[in-house]
Amino acid sequence: MNRLLEEKIVKTLLFITAFTAVFSVLLIGVFVFIEGLPIFFKYGITDVLFGNVWNPTNQVYGIWPMIVGTIYVTFVAILIGAPMGLGVAVYLVEIANQRISRIIIPAVELLAGIPSVVYGLFGMFAVRGVISSLERGPLAEYLPSNYQTGYSILTAAIILAIMILPTIINISLDALRAVPKEYKEGSLALGVSHWQTIYKVLVPAAKSGIITAIILGVGRALGETMAVIMVIGNTPLVPALDWTGLFAPARSMTANIALEMGYAGPEHQQALFATGIVLFVFIIILNSITTLLVRRKGRK
Amino acid sequence: MKNLFKGKMFTGAILTVLTSAMIMTGCGGNNNGGNNGAATNSPSNTPTESASPSPETTVSGTVTIAGSTSVQPLAEELGTAFMGTNGDARIEVAGGGSGAGVKAAQAGTADIGMASRALKDEETGIEPIVIAIDGIAVVVNPGNSVEDLTVDQVKGIFSGAIKNWSEVGGQAGDIVVINREEGSGTRDAFGELVLGEEPFVAEAIIQNSTGAVREAVGQDVNAIGYVSTGGLNDSVKALKVDGHEPTEENIKSAVYPIQRPFNFLVGEGKENSAVAQAFIDYVLSEEGQRIVVENGYVTATK
């Protein structure tokens, strides 16, 4: 009898613990939507989502510059970070000997542990200087003057690329290690070179794991706030959509919320929550894709 | 049995979520209501509290303060410190803007109104008490050769009309404008004092603290920004404006142009309640003015 009761209590406690996560997501979701939706109703969904002007002082709340900024910076960060991360993973699995991996793996783990504000400082002092001397030097004649500040999408993307490396490396490392040994042995036995084996056999076999790694990297880049605020310039303007846009100062959605929450009046605050809704939807879509991919991989 | 157990738990879970959500949104509403209500509720409080027995030692009662959102944070700091030594006193600070502060003081709906500007001629029946002065310094990189700008040049730079340092007597180089984020009190004040109706240049880099503005300006020889005079340090160079450095004396004597007074407003010829008077005295006391300086403002007392 006593033991049954104990069992029941433990079960209930564990259940409550497990559902805390669900509560939290629901609670945060409901809260963000309740706070943010009125802005969409008041100013029109298209005007808020696709409006080019963000000027809360005059009650103009267009989130479009932040949406474009977020997508642009995340895309560039993945473009830089994903091949690098995959390269490191392949190197560790296929080429590096014990001694070298014993240096690289702890370094990657350390990278994951560095607080984002430190990345931001590094970006502000080191990367920004390099980018601005590039902008004011060889590229000066191609760029408008406000694209020569060093605060740019590229600066932020470089910092984000470094920040997402651990995520991409760790998960694609697991995926590559899970590829059955026979694949590699079979390929080599057929006289295929090592490099060809890597990119024709190993990487394709680990494809779904690598894609998951990249998507989780996207999630990390989307959500990063502090480091981005410090290097992106936070100008709420849509960046140029050609290559010069790389050097444009921009503002991400997370930065928009964090920058202005401190002093926001009631309606301004709602507009920031509306930014949160868009971000929330982005993350939900991303997570759904990941879940789908993982499920498909499981079925295989 | 097992299913039933699960089902009950789940219903419980949903209920919890719903009630928590309701409580949270409810709280938000109440907060706003409380802030707005403070000004209108005050008349019922003041008369009863004014006859507090021993004003020498500690005072009790409620002081309602409403008005400028720029003065609000400072008034809250001062209120907290005041309540620390006068346990029975309550200082309630609400926002609303300088205009609302004037109206509240005129109508007596608040004990003290707040305004972050001098009174206009038509705003009669109230008496301003300067509690602090907000001076804003225009800062550039120490490596910048420019030393002195006129208010019009500063306006031109921050509105985007002037784009190159050579236009204001510096070495050629595109001006990098560092602005504060929307909603920042310093930004509002700077906009009001320097730009007037003109909007800020849209291409400016935005930094969201005094420290970040200093960093950004300290990093870039072509950058220009602005910070409260309390936030100046060696990493940036404060420019003279119209020939005057943003020193404490120049701000007090009003020759440095980018400044505004923080005023407490009380009814002209009206007796303040004991607790309100005690609070005003405290604000103007040495200790109160020390808090003013700690918050980055210039003291009002000579």
pLDDT tens track, chain B, 302 positions: 444 444 444 444 444 444 444 444 444 333 333 333 333 333 444 344 444 444 445 778 899 999 887 788 899 999 999 998 888 889 999 887 788 888 889 888 999 999 888 888 888 889 999 999 989 999 999 999 999 999 999 999 999 999 999 999 888 889 999 999 887 778 888 998 899 888 999 999 999 888 889 989 998 999 999 998 888 888 999 999 999 999 888 888 889 999 888 999 998 888 888 899 999 999 999 999 999 988 888 888 76
Are B9 and A12 inside 8 Å of each other by CB? yes
Assigned fold of B20-133+261-299: D-Maltodextrin-Binding Protein; domain 2 (3.40.190)
Residues 6+ apart with CB under 8 A from A146: A235, A248, A249, B174, B203
Distance of CA A266 to the CA centre of its chain: 30
For residue B165, give both structure tokens. 């340092």
> Is A266 in Cβ contact with B203 (below 8 Å)?
no
A275: distance to nearest CA of chain B, Å?
15
Quick: pLDDT tens for B74-103. 999 999 999 988 888 899 998 877 888 888
Query: Chain B within 8 Å of A135 (Cβ-Cβ)?
Result: no
SS3 content of chain B, % helix, strand, coil (to 5): 45, 25, 35
- Chain A residue with CA closest to B22: the answer is A31
Instruction: Please answer yes or no on whether B220 and A149 come within 8 Å at the CB atom.
Output: yes
Q: Which helix (H) or strand (E) holds B2?
A: helix B2-49
Q: What is the pLDDT of residue B18?
A: 45
Give dist(CA B67, CA A115) in Å, integer. 40
CA–CA dist B134, B171 (Å, integer): 31
pLDDT digits (tens, 9 = 90+) for A28-78: 999 999 999 999 999 999 999 999 999 888 889 999 999 999 999 999 999
**Phi, psi torsion values for B297, nearest 5 degrees:** -105, 170
Q: Do A34 and B25 touch (CB under 8 A)?
A: yes
What is the predicted ipTM? 0.81
> What pLDDT is recorded for position B54?
40
CA-wise closest residue to B74 among B300, B302, B301, B294: B294
Nearest to B149 by CA among B248, B255, B239, B260: B239
Contact B28 A35 (CB under 8 A): yes
Question: Of 3.40.50.2000, 3.40.190.10, 3.20.20.100, 3.40.30.10, which CATH number belongs to B135-252?
Answer: 3.40.190.10
**Coil/strand/helix, residue B134:** strand
Q: Where are the alpha helices (DSSP H) in chain A?
A: 2-43, 45-50, 64-90, 98-113, 116-122, 128-136, 153-177, 181-189, 194-197, 203-205, 207-223, 226-232, 253-260, 266-299
Determine contact, residues A272/A257, Cβ cutoff 8 Å. yes
Q: How many CB atoms lie within 10 A of CB A107?
A: 11
Q: Say how many Å lie between the first and final Cα of chain B, rounded.
A: 80
* Residue A283, phi then psi, degrees to nearest 5: -65, -40
The most distant pair of C-alpha atoms in chain B lies apart, rounded to whole Å, by 86
| A80 in Cβ contact with A157 (< 8 Å) | yes
Q: How far apart, in whole angstroms, are the C-alpha atoms of residue B270 and residue B127?
A: 10
CA distance A107 to chain B (A): 29
pLDDT of residue A145: 84
CB A232 within 8 A of CB A250: yes
Please give the helix or strand (H or E) that residue B278 lies within, else none.
helix B274-284
Do the Cβ atoms of B20 and A264 come within 8 Å? no
Mutate to test the interface with B, among A14, A20, A26, A155 (most CBs of B within 10 A): A26
Residue A113 C-alpha, separation from nearest chain B C-alpha, in angstroms:
24
Q: Domains in chain A, please, with CATH?
A: 2-299 (1.10.3720.10)
Q: Do A31 and B174 touch (CB under 8 A)?
A: no
Residue with tokens 């004396």: B249
Q: What are the residues whose beta carbons fall under 8 Å from the beta carbon of B83, sequence distance 6 or more?
A: B89, B90, B91
Is the separation of the CB atoms in B274 and B53 below 8 Å?
no
> Nearest Cβ partner of A233 from B17, B185, B206?
B206
Contacts of B163 in chain A (CB under 8 A): 145
Nearest to A27 among B17, B182, B212 (CB): B17
Question: What local confidence, expressed as pLDDT, does residue B302 receive?
Answer: 60
8 Å CB contact between A290 and A212:
yes
Give me the pLDDT at residue A297, please: 60
Q: What is the 3-state secondary structure (H, E, C) of A23-42?
A: HHHHHHHHHHHHHHHHHHHH
CA–CA dist A27, A23 (Å, integer): 6
The helix (run of H) or strand (run of E) holding residue B92 is: strand B89-96
Q: Which residues of chain A fall short of a pLDDT of 70?
A: 1, 297-300
CA distance B33 to A14: 40
Asked, colleague to colleague, whether B20-133+261-299 and B135-252 share their fold, the answer is yes
Nearest alpha-carbon partner for B45 in B29, B32, B31, B64:
B64
**Residue B206 backbone dihedrals phi, psi, to 5 degrees:** -110, 130
CA atoms within 13 A on the CB side of A76: 21
Which residue in A20, A235, A257 has the most chain B C-beta atoms within 10 A of its own C-beta, making it the best mutation to test that interface? A235
For B261, phi then psi, to 5°, come to: -85, 150
The three-state secondary structure class of B95 is: strand
Report the distance separating Cα A264 and Cα A70, nearest Å.
22
Torsional class of B230: left (φ above 0), alpha (ψ -120 to 50), beta (otherwise): alpha
**pLDDT at site B99:** 83
Any idea where the domains of chain B sit in the sequence? 20-133+261-299, 135-252
Q: Do residues B176 and B220 make contact, with C-beta atoms less than 8 angstroms apart?
A: yes
Of the partner residues B16, B163, B205, the one whose CB lies closest to the CB of residue A23: B16
pTM to 2 decimal places: 0.77
Pairing of strands B126-140, B259-267: antiparallel
Whose CA is closest to A271, among A61, A88, A109? A61
Q: Which of B17, B181, B203 sits opposite A259 (nearest CB)?
A: B181
Residue A11 token pair: 């079960």
- d(Cα B188, Cα B201) in Å, to the nearest integer? 14
Give every CB contact of residue A155 below 8 A, 6+ residues apart in sequence.
A123, A127, A128, A131, A231, A232
User: Each residue of A80-95: b (16+ CB within 10 Å) or e?
Assistant: bbbeebbebbbebbee
Parallel/antiparallel/unpaired status of strands B89-96 and B61-67: parallel
Residue B154's alpha-carbon distances to A131, B134, B212, in angstroms, are 28, 18, 20
